[in-house]
Structure 1
Amino acid sequence: MVLKNGDSVPNIPGFNNQVSIKDIVTDYIENGDIKLKENEVIYLFELGTEVSAEDPDDPAADFQDLVILVSINGVDTSQSEDESQDAVSPR
C-alpha cells in the first residue's frame, strides 16, 4: 500500500492488539489526511499474511509490518554538457 500527500488515513486496525496504521503515521497526519512533501511517499507492507483478491479483509493483513518513508531528490542537471565533459576529460 502506498500513501501520498492528501490521501485519507487508512482505517486498518492492528492485528492481535497491535497499534493501527493511524498510530504509526500520526506524525504525518494533518486535518485527517496524510501530509507529506510532494517528493515523499509512505510504503506500508504486510509481511506475515498473504493478502489476495479473494480475501482483502483478512484481519491479520494490518499493513504495519514494514513502514517506509521515501523521499526522492532530483539530480542537479544545471551544469552544461561542455562543463561536465571538461571536468572528466583525460589528461
Structure 2
Amino acid sequence: MRIRCPYCGERDNGEFSYFGDATLTRPDGMEADASAMHDYVYLRDNPAGEHRELWYHAAGCRTWLVVTRDTRTHTITDVSPARDVARTRRMGEAA
C-alpha cells in the first residue's frame, strides 16, 4: 500500500505508523466517568468499507495524517494533515 503524504509525495506504508481510528474523540479525563473512559480505551469498531485512520509519517516529515481508506480494498481516497482536520472539527463545533 502506498500513501500520498501532502509534504513528501507518495511513499510506501512502511514509512508510516498506524495509530487507529481518527474519528474518536477522547473524553475529558477529569469530567468523564469510568465507563466512558473504558469504552474509549477498549471498545473499537471493525468497519468494512471507508474508514478514517490516524497515521504518523515516522520515516519522513514526521507529520500526523488522517487517511481515508477502504478497509476491504486498501484504496486510499484522501490524505489530510491531522492538524487541518482538527482545526476544521473545532470550527464546526464552535458554529
Q: One fold, TM greater than 0.5?
A: no
Structure in which a larger fraction of residues adopt helix: 2
Structure in which a larger fraction of residues adopt strand: 2
Please tell me whether Structure 1 or Structure 2 has the larger radius of gyration of its CA atoms: 1
Specify which structure has the bigger relative contact order, considering alpha-carbon pairs within 8 angstroms and separated by 6 or more residues: 1
* TM-score calculated relative to the size of structure 1: 0.22
